[in-house]
Amino acid sequence: MSDQELQVNIIAELKTVIDPDLHKDIVSLGFVKNMEVKDGNVKFQVELTTPACPVKEQLKTECETKVSAVKGVKSVDVEMTAEVRAAEHSQPILTNVKNIIAVASGKGGVGKSTVSVNLAMALQMSGAKVGLMDADIYGPSIPKMLGIPITPPKGGADNKFFPHEQYGLKVVSAAFLQKEGVPLMLRGPMLGGIIQQFLQNVEWGELDYLVIDLPPGTGDVQLTLTQRAPISGAVVVTTPQEVSLIDAEKGVRMFESVKVPLLGIVENMSYFICDGCDKKHHIFKSGGGNALAEKFKIPFLTDIPLVSAVVEGGDKGVPIIMADPSSPATKAYTKLAGQVASQLSIIHADKDKPASTFELNWEG
């Protein structure tokens, strides 16, 4: 059998490998790249739509198993890579940012900023280029959670300025525009001016994901961002309490009204794991986040446990996902990053239909 004939058989076998999120085979999706076949030795890349793909290892194993079973194959070398797809940008701002993720909550006190920080870190640690915008103007807590000193940003040309960098993240916060401990006392129009600066004057560079930590509620800042920024999708954070769920529902409806896709619901402080019995204790009831997701027919992304180390990490400026890789909270945040990235990939797949190079070469 010639190398070309063997490659045709390998491609046919790879057409049976289905991406579980996009529900299409990896050949038709254009994921299979740079295949080399020589004397039965096979080498190729599988280029996913995000480095945070939660089924990356599953797909790699399936490719290796199925290609190894093809008659004539002696060895298989599969390299998993990723190229994050960019959302369509209608506004001439943030054009170097491929995806913008808004993290919101209907009320304060649900851990939205903690979710934003650890989501951004999880995406960054997967290999993506990530920025984090602290848009909670009155209560900017992101610098504290990341251990960033409160210093003015470095200026550039044409009134541009550069974000601070910490742990590989690029970070902008209203906290950097004031002296530490001094509150920002602003009326509505001035809030819009700060947000406009964040959208137009920050030199973010090339980013795969920009996570925006919105203020709680549905006020001026939220409306300004949702109307002026090309937001790819929104994550709504809630806790199991009924009061939190009522306010979270308002957040969901806000994004629906401004036509921003809902990536899903996160239930924070969902349960507590006892050290002595390893049993989950649902202190604030349970199932509320799931019920909210079902009501609006949007994904329930994950539930995040109540872990004291999460608070300690935020106070010390070291997010839990870095401080303790084995923590149940770290596992939940890693899952959240994968789910968010997957939902964005699904949105892009509905708009883009890439052709397979192999189909063009061998069947056209």
User: Please, what are the domains in the chain?
Assistant: 3-83 (3.30.300.130), 97-350 (3.40.50.300)
- The pLDDT, as a whole number, for residue 345 is 92
**Angle at 227 (CA atoms; ends 191, 95), nearest 5 degrees:** 95
Say yes or no to pLDDT of 306 above 50.
Answer: yes
Nearest Cα to 231, choosing from 255, 206, 195?
A: 255
Nearest Cα to 212, choosing from 100, 319, 127?
A: 100
Q: For the residues 245-271, what does the mean pLDDT come to?
A: 90
pLDDT tens per residue across span 62-121: 999 999 999 999 999 999 999 998 887 767 788 899 999 999 987 888 889 999 999 999
Percent residues over pLDDT 70 in the chain: 90
CA distance 76 to 61: 11
Residue 246 confidence class, pLDDT cut points 50, 70, 90:
confident
Residue 189 confidence class, pLDDT cut points 50, 70, 90:
low
pTM: 0.89
Query: What DSSP line would sit under 26-68, residue for residue?
Result: TTTTT-EEEEEEETTEEEEEEEES-TT-TTHHHHHHHHHHHHH
CA distance 146 to 296: 33
Cβ 256 vs Cβ 262: under 8 Å: yes
CA 115 distance to own-chain centroid: 11
The first and second tokens of residue 172, run together, are 């902008």
The first and second tokens of residue 179, run together, are 């002296």
For residue 6, the SS3 value is: helix
Residue 357 confidence class, pLDDT cut points 50, 70, 90:
very low
Cβ 203 vs Cβ 160: under 8 Å: yes
pLDDT tens per residue across span 31-60: 999 999 999 999 999 999 999 999 999 999
Say yes or no to pLDDT of 185 above 90.
Answer: no
